[in-house]
Structure 1
Amino acid sequence: MTGLNKGPGAAAESAQIPAAQQATTIGGYSLAIAKALEASGVDSARIFKAVGVPLDLSNDPLTRLPASTMTRLFRTCVEVTNNPYFGLSVAKYVQISNLHALGYALAASSTLMDFCRRLERYFRLLSQTTKVTLSETDDQVLLRFEHLVELSAETEDAFFAFLLMTMRHLYRQDFNPVRVEFHRAMPHEGAGPYEAVLRAPVLFAKTDGLLVFAKAELLQTLNGSCPELAQVNDNIVIGYLARLDKSDVITGVTQKIIEFLPDGDCSRDKVASALCMSPTTLQLKLSQRGTNFQQLLDDTRKELACSYLQQAARSVTEVTFLLGFSDTSNFTRAFKRWTGQSPTDFRQHP
């Protein structure tokens, strides 16, 4: 989607995070660790068995590993390879497909800003251990990673390196961040390998992980931009998040709104019934999260509208009915209220 500051996943970012012993990470991530072990001449099956990680993990996003298990696995890998930079090595073996639908949505993003906003919105599918927050100054974009539970240093190493490699692949190979800050302490062996991979000043032992980018570069259109593909995969991610955390009422409601909007019948009562609760209970649960059904409906429509309008094959009339509006004049008024632009102007200058 376009990554406006508010959207169907934005409110969900305040969702309660499981306790440390319950926080999980997508299991497909371990497939990259296995490849890195094999490349180091270590039998990954032996290590996985010793740590208690199943050998036949699938790439299904609902196949999860506890954060504590991932930490134990990484620490064992560092010991057996005698490589304090093992996490950086893992980054080379992480594939977009290991992130499932979110990976494909990221790859189809319109800009790197869109990429970062999508990561902020849906990072919970990858891991419940960290909260990602995007902020902006006049000329910089800050992507912050707040650790909600204690993680191994290699987890941070691997993901930051993978993220930068992916962004370069999508944009251009000489793309570099302004600076990178790690929560982890600097290895005794020094920062050299980090600077070589990240190609930016690197700081350690900070409160949060942080990637700082030049805003102008993040606003450039990507050659692989495909709003239709990004939209389809965003919807898949929302569905998985609803299944992953059934107690997250915001994600559940958002999923149902997306499902019901094209039918033109997306009332609070219908959504509540689909979630097996009364309208009163639904409203109470939403109010406890600081929102309400109408606000979620409005936010979801706005986000979908911006995404649909980037898809050249969709007419404004089609977008109108996909969003459940009765006519284009109602949609146009709502869109101007959301963005200050008409749908036609937005399409020309998104």
Structure 2
Amino acid sequence: MGQITSLFVYKVIDQAHHGQDKRELLESIGIDPDAPVDPRMMVADTDYYAFFERVARSHPSGTQLPLRTGASMRCADYGAFGLAWKSALTLRGSFSRAERYARVLSSVSTYQVREKDEGVYMELHRDGDRSNAGLRLSNEATMASIVAISEEVSSGTFQAEAVFFKHDAPKTPRVHEDHFGCAVHFGADRDALLVSRQMLETPNKLGDPGIVKFFDTHLDKELSRFEAGPSFERRVRNQIAQLLSQGTPRVSEVASCLAISGRTLQRRLSERGYSFTTLVDNSRRELAERLLRDTAYPLAEVAFLTGFSEQSAFTRAFKRWAGQTPRSYRLAVHAAADD
């Protein structure tokens, strides 16, 4: 049995607007109605699909419910996943992060970014019988949510080229075309959003002011404090730190930001006695220590900002670096500051 974040349950209820008791709906799927909304709390996928189908069936405009539910999503709703999405440099970076971080929202869904002649497909992979109405509704809501958070973060006007669903068309498919503003293909061989390459390269707004302030105001100075070597290494390490929230940077990515080739970057580092891998590891540690020391970001978000797809992997790496867990390090630093 798979699991899906309870966040989506709340969103479905919020968009239903037809008089059903919210407490009763939450209790029907095993959620404490008095508990705060927490994206980390999961529900069984089969329960969620049945819940979604039940609510949509009793709704006067059930066909529109998954589209409105998806459209209501914002990056802030997703917690660490949303932070990873909006702190990418471009939409391509956001889409790539979805491939890495989707597991924090669901154990039954993954994403894959595929390059084709006609553009780039953001594919949703979710196993299950397409005759299951709840699963179909969930897939439609997911596609609508991808569009919503893309519109939120992109500095341009986001527009998909086409949308594809494996399931058959509803009685009124025009509703979907009007919502997405493009052709919607049902009975397709994939569940996917087709986006132009130009659209994916559009810069993001970097809408999280805390992240912007941290990187723009403090990071360069902090990393320089650790650095006693040549300025070239400082530039490389600073650039690595800027890219870490998109995952482990590649040599080619860092070199491109420095306007040199990957081969030149590696050669110049080697001449100074450094390796790119070592600089990435050092930059990760320094950035992690800085975030733990000077911000209140949850550990999951610190893990994402330092390039880890899972908090457990970050914890293991930090214990290797510092001989203690991230939580212990943060507590010790704050205790020392209070003395």
Fold conserved (TM > 0.5)? yes
Q: Which structure: larger Rg?
A: 2
Q: Which residue does the alignment assign to 2:40?
A: 62
Structure 1 counterpart SS, 2:113 = strand
Structure 2 counterpart SS, 1:115 = helix
Q: Does 1:205 align with 2:183?
A: no
Q: Which residue does the alignment assign to 2:58?
A: 80
2:8 is aligned with what amino acid?
A: Y
Q: Does 1:215 align with 2:197?
A: yes
Alignment of 1:87-236 (within 5 A): 87-137=66-116, 140-150=119-129, 152-171=135-154, 174-187=157-170, 189-224=171-206, 229=211
Question: Which structure would you say has the larger RCO, counting Cα contacts within 8 Å and 6 or more residues apart?
Answer: 1
Structure 2 counterpart SS, 1:220 = coil
1:43 is aligned with what amino acid?
A: D
Structure 1 counterpart SS, 2:58 = helix
Q: Which residue does the alignment assign to 2:27?
A: 49
Does structure 1 conserve the Cα–Cα contact (< 8 Å) formed by 2:109 and 2:124? yes
The separation in 1 between residues aligned to 2:225 and 2:255, in whole angstroms, is: 21
Q: Which residue does the alignment assign to 1:255?
A: none
Identity of aligned residues (%): 15
Q: CA 1:312–1:49 in structure 2 vs 1: closer, same or farther (change >3 Å)? A: closer
The separation in 1 between residues aligned to 2:113 and 2:59, in whole angstroms, is: 35
Q: CA 1:173–1:342 in structure 2 vs 1: closer, same or farther (change >3 Å)? A: closer
Structure 2 stretches of 5 or more lacking a match?
240-249, 262-339
The separation in 1 between residues aligned to 2:155 and 2:162, in whole angstroms, is: 18
1:143-202: CA deviation from partner (whole Å, max 9, x where unpaired): 111113456211111121121122122226742111110122211x22111111111110
Q: Does 1:313 align with 2:224?
A: no
Q: Displacement, 1:211? A: 0.8
The separation in 1 between residues aligned to 2:108 and 2:234, in whole angstroms, is: 44
1:170 is aligned with what amino acid?
A: V
Alignment of 1:13-32 (within 5 A): 22-32=1-11
Q: Displacement, 1:29? A: 1.9
The separation in 2 between residues aligned to 1:72 and 1:49, in whole angstroms, is: 14
2:151 is aligned with what amino acid?
A: R
Normalised TM-score (structure 1): 0.58
Alignment of 1:198-347 (within 5 A): 198-224=180-206, 229=211, 313=220, 336=251, 343=258, 345=260
Does structure 2 conserve the Cα–Cα contact (< 8 Å) formed by 1:110 and 1:226? no
Q: Displacement, 1:53? A: 4.2
Q: CA 1:36–1:337 in structure 2 vs 1: closer, same or farther (change >3 Å)? A: closer
Q: Which residue does the alignment assign to 1:284?
A: none
2:106 is aligned with what amino acid?
A: S
Does structure 2 conserve the Cα–Cα contact (< 8 Å) formed by 1:179 and 1:212? yes
Q: CA 1:56–1:70 in structure 2 vs 1: closer, same or farther (change >3 Å)? A: farther
Q: CA 1:192–1:327 in structure 2 vs 1: closer, same or farther (change >3 Å)? A: closer
Structure 1 counterpart SS, 2:168 = coil
Does structure 2 conserve the Cα–Cα contact (< 8 Å) formed by 1:130 and 1:149? no
Q: CA 1:319–1:223 in structure 2 vs 1: closer, same or farther (change >3 Å)? A: farther
Normalised TM-score (structure 2): 0.60
2:57 is aligned with what amino acid?
A: E
Q: Displacement, 1:317? A: 5.1
Does structure 2 conserve the Cα–Cα contact (< 8 Å) formed by 1:142 and 1:210? yes
Does structure 1 conserve the Cα–Cα contact (< 8 Å) formed by 2:74 and 2:148? no
The separation in 2 between residues aligned to 1:329 and 1:196, in whole angstroms, is: 47
Does structure 1 conserve the Cα–Cα contact (< 8 Å) formed by 2:15 and 2:68? yes
| Length, aligned pairs only | 242
Does structure 2 conserve the Cα–Cα contact (< 8 Å) formed by 1:51 and 1:73? yes
RMSD: 3.7
Structure 2 counterpart SS, 1:81 = coil
The separation in 1 between residues aligned to 2:143 and 2:227, in whole angstroms, is: 39
Q: Displacement, 1:88? A: 1.2
Structure 2 counterpart SS, 1:145 = strand
The separation in 1 between residues aligned to 2:258 and 2:226, in whole angstroms, is: 10
